[in-house]
Amino acid sequence: MSYNNLNMSKLSDTGLILLIIGTFLIVLSLILLSIFEISPNLFVIIQINGWILFCIALIFIIITKDVYHIIKLKNNFPLKLDHLIIFICAMTITITLL
């Protein structure tokens, strides 16, 4: 594996980690708002941080061109772990927006 591929792999892994953390923050803010009735200001702050991390993660993933492989899903099944994580995050965000 060349040095360039190794850096891209690390960037992709970082993107996935940020994607998971961003999604977690967005969902956490909804849970805190509904169960513990936190203040709207704290809700907005957590939501904004989650969305910022989510957007940074998407940029990292697009840079590493993982999006191409997600769209093209070779062999359809079984899904790779990366694909599954991104699918779960995307569904979580979609549900959040509803």
pLDDT digits (tens, 9 = 90+) for 82-94: 666 666 666 666 6
Pick left, alpha or beta for residue 79 (phi over 0 → left; psi -120 to 50 → alpha; otherwise beta).
beta
pLDDT at 22 over 50: yes
> Nearest to residue 16, comparing CAs of 45, 44, 54?
54
pLDDT tens per residue, range 49-61: 888 887 787 777 7
What's the pTM? 0.55
- Residues 14, 44: Cα–Cα separation, whole Å: 25
Beta strands in 1-62 (DSSP E): none
What are the angstrom distances between the C-alpha of 75 and each of 12, 53, 81, 86, 87?
Answer: 21, 30, 14, 17, 17
Residue range 61-84, pLDDT digits in tens: 766 665 555 545 555 545 555 666
pLDDT at residue 3, rounded to an integer: 42
More confident residue, 24 or 8: 24
Q: Is the pLDDT of residue 98 over 70?
A: no
More confident residue, 88 or 25: 25
Q: What are phi and psi of 77, to 5 degrees?
A: -130, 150
CB 64 within 8 A of CB 10: no
Average pLDDT over the chain, rounded to an integer: 69
